[in-house]
Structure 1
Amino acid sequence: MERTRIAKVDNVKLSRRGEQVLGTLHLTPHHLIFSHTPPPTTEDSQADNTVSPRPRELWITYPIISFCTFRPAPAVSRQPSSIRLRCRDFTFVCFYFPDEAKARDTYDSIKSWTCKLGRIDKLYAFTYQPQLPERDLNGWTLYDARKEWERLGLGNPDLNCGWRISNINVDYNFSPTYPALLPVPSTMSDNTINYAGRYRSRARIPTLTYLHPVNNCSITRSSQPLVGVRKNRSIQDEKLLAAIFSTSSQERPLASSTPPSLEAESSNSSQEDQQFGSLTDFELSNAEELEDEVISAARREGKDYKPQIYGAQQHNLIVDARPTVNALAMQAVGLGSENMDNYKFATKAYLGIDNIHVMRDSLNRVIDALKDSDLSPLGPDRDQLARSAWLKHIAGILDGSALIARQVGLQHSHVLIHCSDGWDRTSQLSALSQLCLDPYYRTLEGYMVLVEKDWLSFGHMFRHRAGHLNSDKWFQVENDRMTGDPNRPGFGDAGAAGKALENAFLSAKGFFNRDNASRDSLGESDGEAQLFDPDKSTARPRLAASEAEATKVKETSPVFHQFLDATYQLLYQHPTRFEFNERFLRRLLYHLYSCQYGTFLYNSEKERADCKAKERTRSVWDYFLARREQFSNSKYDPVIDDNKRGSERLLFPKTNEVRWWSEAFGRTDAEMNGPRLSSGAPSVDRDYAGGRLTPVLTGVETAERSISTASPAPSARPVPSTASSGMAALAAGLSNFGLSGGSDNRQERQRPPIQSKEVEVEMQ
């Protein structure tokens, strides 16, 4: 099909920030190019009358277009036809056409090149030919999983770190969304790992992502357990987590061998009446012995075991990134959160970070505050920016990351992180906490390795979240927009409760209609119903390739954007601790959507391997490594000295100083952050609804008792309503359990009253 109805349009007027220039619009298979020759300046005329100013060009790659509106020329007005574009890098432009027919042909061509591709391999990355010096680089080799695990201490017999690298997923059959190499405790056999995988959504078991080189404490990540309304359990999962939390001990509480009965039988039968608990008497006996062994060992660790680090007190933590109510609501569809009666060797904290739908809506509100940037030179509406709650979400993610980093780096404890499927909020928290803990990840190459490991290797749905194949819903004629499509960006809050209820029903339908033999907890789509079951011969016909790969608006979300924004906050607050500069983050955000490189086109390591992305496309790291000097921070100080203030190994965010990343939104600092206080910090409180931050810690749970926003314990200290210190919040919530938390000198404020609202079932 010929997608280009018109390849070149002359006398097109470009409007941007209220300024207009006349030029020519070119439509190529991969870019929209506007070129114009600026008028000569007085200095140019005096220098040489024979030299013409160089033409200037604006290149817009089609996948970066997030919204396109065609407005025909009104019959009763002399205003010309126009096409308005909003881009995911927050470029806002409007093109005015002298001829309505050419304007419509241009609109149809842009829509065809953007929405009618059908397959990922039709994107620009598969035809892009780099110029020197990129051509001599190969960024695909930058990350070597074994090399990174060796850097962290795995594979070194002298260290005896208690971990090994399992090949159970080397063919991706165990968990298609996980990496091929999985670091697991040395005491765990692959057979036990196999059974434990049946208790976690998509078999994303607790596995190592970071090992602290000083205290041998770990950050592990996973997906949610399949608890359900029947409160199912898995002895293998409990054993695996107990082994993880014991890896830093001198004494190993768990035997290296697994009881034969536990190896022979899965605690997750596909039949409902056998699922997660129908064990024989012999198995139940072994399970009880194992449970007693684990719990007593964990208790010994807190009383008799002398930590390797002087003064360390281990209080191992399970971090559920979701709000407490949302996590519990997932039990209705067979999922949920750990029953702490079965994990008595740990404490669980709910962080209250909202799901992808809330984050998408928040960014859409930011866009609404900026959306007239093509026509107006005025600054954004600060009140509208405040109502977006974007900064509140960034502060919550940073506070949760600080909590994890403090537990590992200061409390010398182990932390397991998960959300729903463990590839959105989990990746944010895991990567940011490592950025706080390890100076290596603050170097240019170290940050690239961190992205490769915690986002690309462990899986993140880049193709879905970034919407690379775009959607027809983002292309509308002006009259159509007035009908109020609830899926278009910035539509508002109308019908929010109805959408929440609809998502809940769709989620439940997708779960209960799935094949019971499947390891997946849900269909491919998070937040929408599974349309067909490919494993059943009686299933509905398969969708066409173009429909199967088309972007679903409800699956898009700025998850990776938030990670880059949170990194910017750390960079801004600690300008000497990072080797890279702000421009590096901004260009990385651009190339997330540009589709010029193959790095961010797929959802998992397996997908990249199956599609031969490394052979057929270039790595985005080629772009940065070839221009290293442009992305280097001139203020960077590589010296690490824990005895020198400002040079310590650890760093933590100041979440009460979170600010707008104005450069990323294409605005000035004054426009986005407003007047600055005498201390030099922006007036952040103005950018939060009600002027206050919400607590990052929404619930604490152990085997004995729980504290949550739904039903706080009467004797519990109130959780502070500021996101200024994750450990302060943790200390407030855990003080009654006798666990030591960090100290914080800030005045605690009373927690605001709980607002009743519709709870949306989590489909991260």
Structure 2
Amino acid sequence: MLLQVDNVTLARRGEQVDGTLHLTPHHLIFSHTPPISPEDSIKGVVIRPKELWITYPIIAFCTLRPAPAASRQLSSIRLRCRDFTFVCFYFVNEHKARDVFESIKQWTCKSGRIDKLYAFSYQPPPPEKEFNGWELYDPRKEWARQGCLEEGKAWRLSEINFSPTYPALIPVPSSISDNTLNYAGRYRSRARIPALTYFHPVNNCTITRSSQPLVGVRQHRSIQDEKLLSAIFMTSRTERPLASFSTPEKDADNSSPETSQVMVPELNNAEELEDDLLAAGSGGIEEQSSIYGAQQSNLIVDARPTVNAFAMQAVGLGSENMDNYKFATKAYLGIDNIHVMRDSLNKVIDTLKESDVTPLGPNRDQLARSGWLKHIGGILDGARLITRQVGLTHSHVLIHCSDGWDRTSQLSALSQICLDPYFRTLEGFMVLVEKDWLSFGHMFRHRSGHLNCEKWFQIENERIGGDPNRAFGDGGGAGKAIENAFLSAKGFFNRDNTSRNSLPDSDGELQNYESDTPPEKPTAPRSGVSEKEVTKPKETSPVFHQFLDATYQLLHQYPTRFEFNERFLRRLLYHLYSCQFGTFLFNNEKERVDCKASERTRSVWDYFLARREQFTNPQYDPVIDDHQRGKERLIFPRVNETRWWNEVFGRTDAEMNGPRPSGAPRDNSQSPVLTGIETAGSNNTVKSTAASGVSAVTSGVSKLAFPAERTEQPTEVGVEMQ
């Protein structure tokens, strides 16, 4: 295995430099000494070597191009990195090029275990040692800050974890017992019950999140799930708590599993309980006067396209039958799943991928056809809807998609940024990521592809087929959704789908179309991680990248309302893939605890807190005054101003967004946020804005943006070393 190769040429953006390539167990390092100018030579200036550091997990694709026989061309290795760095190394000796290729492949793919990654051997510099980012987020402290646990509030903390993918502490309505939560969990995929994630301190309304219900083609229901959601939506009122509602025979909280587990109970008392709950939700029970809630229009947000949600009924899943949730309205947002998002980003990469060998800018028409800005706009539009419901109409919102850890996290976190100025501070944003992404079980290990995949290493003249990242296709269209759902039905019904304490077996290929992750096979744990793992390309997706991109849109639109700057978001995206810190290596809170991540690795927040001045926005104005324009508590995304985050793609603003024509009018048209509205009595039919049932949430997003002047060149490549 080669450790050093001399006489290597690095090509990037059409420029070339000669230097030395070093291969270490965790990094690929290219060093070169810039030529000294005559003036500097006379002055005796010492020119220090410059280095480019590339950590192996950040490599998204590696191609060896051997030199053709009897040709003067050089053998080369082209790298595409997940931080959108594109480089090419040229070698005078083909044998050395092959050795380097095999070395990179081995160090990237052969670890097979999370605890072999760089984070477990990383030694922080002295400034980082002064911080402990693992202690930054304290759930009890955050819930106390929001005010939901104050005396007289309708919430309590439950320490009984019903789902291994959920946080250990979950606020639940005081009127709901753990027994009811236990049975309600059997009606939600992965037992991810409706759980509180945000409590509005002004109007006491909430954002809760969950996974999809197990409705199925037979329209199954759960009285416990309906009771839980009704209790959540009643917490901002001052009326008699739902715990006091009981049937003539016994309280449903203490009923037996046979009568309350899931589906339609046969006993009359369950039907009477339902009537009481629905009457309470509709105001049928006498209420005391209250300040907030008079304009309530409580909402269940299903992030999926309507056709995807209904197709999932074929495999026992689906979406709420609103005849059983008459205390709320349901909205479908039409946000596509992880496979469509991955394909969209790949189309952007196809436009940028030649940047290692040419200085030419990307084709902006091709960028537009990727659909990336449409997807970002759709997510922002959904966050705008949720922000309006909670912040202006004083209503409660439940958010879910399929499993409740991808699109749900995006919508929940972005809505809280719009609602709460605290989450627009540096510390608050870190707390938000810890709470809504890390604690609530976004699958960072699977989505980010930390353990890489041998399919991403190819020798050009030995390739068979196309890019494995593109194998899933566009995944769009009603026919495609239904086809995939029915094809996966056999695999679904042939396994034990308790959706409770374990993830059922799956080969990772035959999967529910709308299931964001194929279940993994259980393996014997070793310090909290499996013995041997590889990344499955179809499980990867830029979900967290999209969240950071959407946050960038808000930062660009409201530059004085955020304490952190654009560079903070860009470096956070880099460290999502660098594997230098333990924060983003695991799929949920339980995995981090089992692996003792806080003891064996450093938190990514140490990096930022030790360099706080580099990531602080000088335009930040912390004053909040709802009576002064521009200083209000709430902010709302302006979807029509969605633009390319050019810095993260290593391009100039003009290259990706283009100049704004002088005097060009601003597009004030509003794109539709909903692909369907469903209420009680609608007989499960959805009024869709598109004949096929699939509607683009942000059709017509303008390619023209309102760019700010570029203040920083994208020179950050690889790991910043201190």
Q: Name the structure 1 match of 2:716.
A: none
* 2:616 corresponds to: 632
Among candidates 281, 296, 303, match of residue 279 of structure 2: 296
Residue 494 of structure 1 and its aligned partner are, at CA, apart by 11
Is 2:414 the counterpart of 1:432?
A: yes
**Structure 1 residue 679, shift from structure 2 partner:** 5.8
Residue 546 of structure 2 is matched in structure 1 by 562
Per-residue CA deviations over 1:522-574 (Å, capped at 9, x if unaligned) read: 55787645698659xxxxxxxxx989521000000000000000000000000
Q: Please say if residues 673 and 697 of structure 2, whose CA atoms lie closer than 8 Å, have aligned partners that are also in contact.
A: no
Q: In 2, distance between residues paired with 1:450 and 1:619?
A: 15
- 1:9-20 mapped onto 2 (5 Å cutoff): 9-20=5-16
Structure 2: how far apart are the matches of 1:678 and 1:645? 27
Deviation digits for residues 426-460 of structure 1 (CA, Å, limit 9, x no counterpart)? 00000000000000000000000000000000110
Q: Are 2:31 and 1:7 equivalent residues in the alignment?
A: no
Residue 239 in structure 1 maps to residue 220 in structure 2: no
Check 1:301–1:588 CA distance in 2 against 1; reply closer, same or farther (3 A cut): farther
- Identify which of 193, 196, 199 aligns with 1:208: 196
- Quote how far apart the aligned CAs of 1:136 are: 1.6
| CA spacing shift, 1:406–1:495, aligned 2, 3 Å | closer
Structure 1 CA distance for aligned equivalents of residues 499 and 697 of structure 2: 43
Cα deviation, residue 711, structure 1? 8.1
Q: Does 1:377 align with 2:364?
A: no
Give the structure 1 partner of residue 86 of structure 2. 92
Q: Residue type matched to 1:288 in 2?
A: E
Q: Do the aligned partners of residues 462 and 194 (structure 1) sit closer, same or farther apart at CA in structure 2, a change above 3 Å counting? A: same
Q: Cα deviations across residues 724-748 of structure 1 (Å, max 9, x unaligned)?
A: 9xxxxxxxxxxxxxxxxxxxxxxxx
- 8 Å contact kept, 2:447–2:543: yes
Query: Offset of 1:462 from its aligned partner?
Result: 0.2
Q: Report how far residue 304 of structure 1 moved.
A: 6.4
Can you list the C-alpha shifts for 1:559-618, whole angstroms capped at 9, x where unaligned?
000000000000000000000000000000000000000000000000000000000000
The question of whether the paired residues in 2 share the 8 Å contact of 1:30 and 1:62 is answered with yes
Pairing partner for 2:321 from 297, 319, 339: 339
**Are residues 708 and 434 of structure 1, via their aligned partners in 2, closer, same or farther at CA, if it must alter by over 3 Å?**
same
Letter in 2 for 1:217: C
Amino acid at match of 1:575: P
Cα offsets for 1:42-72 (capped at 9, x unmatched):
54234x1x33311100000000000000000
Q: Map Cα deviations across residues 305-333 of structure 1 (whole Å, 9 max, x no partner).
A: 64413x94000000000000000000111
How far the C-alpha of 1:76 sits from its partner, in A, is: 3.8
2:305 corresponds, among 315, 323, 338, to 323
Instruction: Within 5 Å, give how 1:658-697 maps onto structure 2.
Output: 658-678=642-662, 695-697=672-674
Task: Give 3-state SS (helix, strand or coil) of 1:403's partner.
Answer: helix
The reply on whether 1:582 has 2:566 as its aligned counterpart is yes
Q: Are 2:254 and 1:263 aligned?
A: yes
| 1:161 Cα offset (Å) | 2.1
- Corresponding position: 1:228 with 2:216: yes
Q: Which residue of 1 aligns with 2:580?
A: 596
Once the two structures are TM-superposed, the CA of residue 650 in structure 1 deviates from its matched residue by: 0.2
Task: Measure how far apart 1:510 and its partner are.
Answer: 3.8
State the alpha-carbon separation in 2 of the partners of residues 72 and 494 from structure 1: 35
Secondary structure at the counterpart of residue 355 of structure 2: coil
Q: Offset at 1:294?
A: 1.6
How many angstroms apart in 2 are the aligned matches of 1:63 and 1:521?
26
- The whole-number CA distance in structure 1 between the counterparts of 2:355 and 2:584 is 28
Q: Distance in 2 between matches of 1:94 and 1:555?
A: 28
Aligned-CA RMSD value: 3.0
On the 8 A contact 1:226/1:232 being kept in 2, the answer is yes
SS in 1 for 2:356: coil
Preserved CA contact (<8 Å) 2:26 2:56: yes
Q: CA deviation at 1:15?
A: 0.2
Contact 1:65–1:85 (8 Å) recurs in 2? yes
Deviation at 1:501, TM superposition (A): 7.8
1:514 to partner: Cα distance: 2.2
Shift of 1:168: 1.1
1:189 deviates by 0.4
Which of residues 96, 99, 102 is equivalent to 1:102?
Answer: 96
Contact 1:511 1:521 in 2 (8 A): no
1:165-190 CA distance string (max 9 Å, x none): 01111xxxx20000000110010000
Amino acid at match of 1:478: E
Shift of residue 473, structure 1, vs aligned partner: 1.1
Name the structure 1 match of 2:605: 621
Q: 1:252 offset after TM fit, Å?
A: 3.0
Structure 1 pair 153–660 and aligned structure 2 pair: CA distance change class (3 A): same
Q: Which residue of 2 aligns with 1:189?
A: 177
User: SS of the counterpart of 2:73?
Assistant: coil
TM-score of the superposition, structure 2-length normalised?
A: 0.89
In structure 2, what is the equivalent of residue 120 of structure 1? 114
Q: Tell me, what secondary structure is at the counterpart of 2:647?
A: coil
CA contact (8 A) 1:503 1:527 kept: no
Check conservation: 1:353, 1:696, Cα contact below 8 A: no
Deviates more, 1:588-597 or 1:73-82: 73-82
Correspondence for 1:701 among 668, 678, 702 = 678
| Alignment check: 8 A CA contact 2:62 2:457 kept | yes
SS in 1 for 2:186: helix
Instruction: State the one-letter code of the partner of 1:323.
Output: P
Judging changes above 3 Å, is the alpha-carbon distance between structure 1 residues 646 and 525 closer, same or farther for their aligned structure 2 residues?
A: farther
| Whole-angstrom CA distance in 2 between matches of 1:615 and 1:517 | 34
Q: Give me the whole-angstrom Cα distance separating, in 2, the residues matched to 1:114 and 1:14.
A: 20
For 2:254, the aligned partner's letter is E
Q: Gapped runs of 5+ residues in structure 1? A: 536-544, 686-691, 725-764
Q: Is the 8 A contact 2:222 2:260 kept in 1?
A: no
Who is 2:430 aligned against?
Answer: 448
Report the CA distance between 1:666 and its aligned residue.
Answer: 0.5
- What is the alpha-carbon distance in structure 1 between the residues aligned to residue 686 and residue 340 of structure 2? 21
Distance in structure 1 (CA, Å) of the matches to 2:479 and 2:69: 38
Identity across matched positions, percent: 72
Counterpart residue number, 2:401: 419
Partner residue, 1:37: 33
SS state of the match for residue 416, structure 1? strand
| 1:380–1:445 Cα change, 3 Å | same
For residues 462 and 300 of structure 1, what CA distance do their matches in structure 2 show?
A: 42
User: Are positions 1:459 and 2:441 aligned together?
Assistant: yes
User: C-alpha distance in 2, partners of 1:495/1:341?
Assistant: 29
Residue 468 of structure 2 is matched in structure 1 by 487
CA shift in 2, pair 1:95/1:496, >3 Å: farther
Structure 1 CA distance for aligned equivalents of residues 560 and 160 of structure 2: 42
- Report the CA distance shift for 1:303/1:14 in structure 2 as closer, same or farther (over 3 A): farther
Aligned to 1:156: 150
